[in-house]
Structure 1
Amino acid sequence: MTFTIFFATSTGKTEDVADRLKELLPGTEAKDVDNIDSIDELVAAESLICCVPTWNTGADEARSGTAWDDLVQEIPDKDFAGKSVAIVGLGDSSGYSDFFCDAMEELYTAFLQSGAKLIGKVSTEGYTYDDSKSIIDGKFCGLAIDEDNESELTDQRLQAWVQQINSEA
């Protein structure tokens, strides 16, 4: 199973996490969604890891504040049937504790509507936050990362998650 990592970043933290994932998944390519020609690059991938930050906290939609906000509108109209899609969300569990990694849910819902096989759900155990729209059926709908307050946990979380998605894909 070959993953392609798609990311968007405002501060560089999401790109850094995408690069760290790339190191854990040899042969994987990472692409900034700001630089892709069209959504067809996502459709063409064998399987996807989507890395998204949460910026527009408290908004009803367009919560990433990045190019993902436009793509999320197009994803439900594309055919991702049977493709494995895993999501990584970055957020600030302290400063924005009521909206922790909210943007993950937008991607999750869009890919669900497109027929994708969503993998990589993570337990909320070990996280400190007040609320998140990205909790579905009691779990985060992807891997939640907090580089602002819990960066010491990121490598361990990424390694465990890579094993998980490889077994689920």
Structure 2
Amino acid sequence: MLIGPAPPGFPDVHAIPPQSLPDLLAQSYDGAGRSIVLRDTEGELRMRVEADADATGWAFVIPNDTWRIVRLKALMRLLLKLAGLPTGAPTLEPALTPYRLHRLALSLRALDGEEEGASRREVGAVLFTQEARDITSHGWKSSGLRKKVARLIRLGHAMRDGDYRHLLTRSFHRIRWG
């Protein structure tokens, strides 16, 4: 949760001193502000308070991006915590199927192999079958295993480059599974 300085025209806005934050677990300072972690039964609450926010009062910043709903839910939990109220259990939503969990694990292993310099054929041999090393060059070009490895690496790249956030929101349908 990002907390910035309140804009002018809000006279009742105030900052909350760190010592009065409920269940303060950790805080650290740098030149631009401080990071705060609060303990909660449903998971830690993390805040980033910009340096000049304490002087003008706090304003909670919710960028209008794809993750605004997640940020709003986090803000609501934080506001409930600050008010001394229970934050409540997370909403129940469908979890990843065992197949998709397995596919994610394979895709990250395939991505690791590629980034370590292994060829896609070597990745296929490690993940699926040793016989992949014996496939001829011509046979490899039309191999279903080659396409399967390529899809896994593509999924690994997407996860690494930001699609993993869909796992946090449980919007699994937005992930390109291959």
Task: Give the TM bin, normalised by the shorter chain.
Answer: under 0.3
TM-score scaled to structure 1, two decimals? 0.23
Question: If each structure's helix is expressed as a fraction of its own residues, which one has the higher value?
Answer: 2
Larger Rg: 2
Q: Which has the higher contact order (CA 8 A, sep 6+)?
A: 1
Question: If each structure's strand is expressed as a fraction of its own residues, which one has the higher value?
Answer: 1
